[in-house]
Amino acid sequence: MPNPATMLAVTAKSGPKPVEVSLPERVREDDCLIRVHRVGICGTDNEILKGYAGFDGILGHEFSGQVVESDQYSWIRRRVTAHINIPGDLRGHIDYTAAKHDPDRQAIGIRGRDGAMAEYIVLPEGVLVALPDSVSDAAGAMAEPLAAALDAAERIPPNDDPVLLIGDGRLAILIARILRARGREVHALGRYEHKMDRLRQIGVTVSIREPEDNFRAVIEASGNPFGLQTALNSVAPEGTIVLKSTHTESFTIDPTFIAVNEIRLVGSRCGDVAAAVELIASRTVEVEDLIDDVHPLRDAELAFERAFGPDGLKVQLDPTVG
């Protein structure tokens, strides 16, 4: 019989193989205990396993679940996802923009706070986002990556079309879907034919070669350390590059080129999860079709292998399966 005081979880310290850990405990009055229903495997999780962010706790920041314990009766049994940043002085509902740059913040599954790649997670109610009945558990766990895509899409100037998107993975596809839903013209630089087909289906012009013409707006979402250099090769003078990828390794760029050509280089991290849930609920952006595999939590090693193979888009874990 499993120990009722423990649960299965994937930690950065143990690698993708699940281990038994202590059940999380509610400490604050506003803490909620959540039974995790789905949790996505993200490129950031893989980078953390390589040493990114120096985190050794439970992984996982893309999730959906159901509140099973709370001092606020209104939260009990509600299905939820969450903003991933928790400010040091959280009072009431979160201001997600301020939270992600709070020097004392915690980040779920990334910095100072155990994540959702487990059977249960404890989070303060101020970061929770309720899921409407029209949003499935699988789609709810896609809200955080969609929010990250939304943040990138909103950082490019509104009239700088066409937009060049570097990448053809899950994040790039979500960014493209947001841009196309807003009527933007999008070109993409990709590597894998079956992924580029998804971009073509929504009217994106796709190529496997660096473009000959320069673009005033470029979004780098390749997950590749060389993606930024490709963006610099492709941006027009006075253009904007939105940098989305994060890596453990360092790389060099030519700052003189950026200065002389007056390039605007903008970082983009996480976004508004509540706004992403609205996009999913309204069917403005489809997300569930990008989930190409679901594994029990106990099979996390296999799931990680699948997630980062050449054919993988989004792989999720289901901690409710025994």
165-217 residue pLDDT tens: 999 999 999 999 999 999 999 999 999 888 999 999 999 999 999 998 899 99
Read off the pLDDT band of 253 (50, 70, 90). confident
Q: Is residue 94 scored above 90 in pLDDT?
A: no
Instruction: Provide the CATH number for the domain around residue 261.
Output: 3.40.50.720
Cα separation of 161 and 215, whole Å? Answer: 8
Cα separation of 120 and 9, whole Å? Answer: 9
Following CA atoms 159, 165, 170, 171 in sequence, which dihedral angle do they give, to the nearest 10 degrees? -60
Question: What are the tens digits of pLDDT across the range 13-46?
Answer: 988 999 999 999 999 999 999 999 999 999 899 9
Does residue 68 sit in the same domain as residue 118?
A: yes
Instruction: Provide the CATH number for the domain around residue 125.
Output: 3.90.180.10
Cα separation of 315 and 153, whole Å? Answer: 23
Does residue 25 sit in the same domain as residue 119?
A: yes
Count of the separate structural domains present in the chain: 2
Q: Is residue 76 scored above 90 in pLDDT?
A: yes
Does residue 139 sit in the same domain as residue 277?
A: yes
Pair 215, 163: CB distance under 8 Å: yes
> Which structural domain, as residue segments, surrounds residue 217?
156-267
Does residue 48 sit in the same domain as residue 109?
A: yes
User: What is the model's pTM?
Assistant: 0.93
Whether 1 maps to a domain, the answer reads no
Does residue 313 sit in the same domain as residue 217?
A: no
Pair 241, 231: CB distance under 8 Å: yes
- Give the end-to-end CA distance of the chain in Å, rounded to a whole number: 12
Q: In DSSP terms, which residues pair with 40 in a beta bridge?
A: 62, 316
Cα separation of 261 and 256, whole Å? Answer: 8
Domain boundary among 224, 245, 267: 267
Does residue 16 sit in the same domain as residue 132?
A: yes
Q: The tokens of 39 are what?
A: 């949790």
Does residue 263 sit in the same domain as residue 293?
A: no
Whether 151 maps to a domain, the answer reads no
Q: The tokens of 268 are what?
A: 């983009």
Cα separation of 160 and 240, whole Å? Answer: 9
Q: Is residue 2 scored above 70 in pLDDT?
A: no
Pair 59, 117: CB distance under 8 Å: yes
Does residue 239 sit in the same domain as residue 117?
A: no
Pair 176, 167: CB distance under 8 Å: no
Q: The tokens of 207 are what?
A: 């190529």
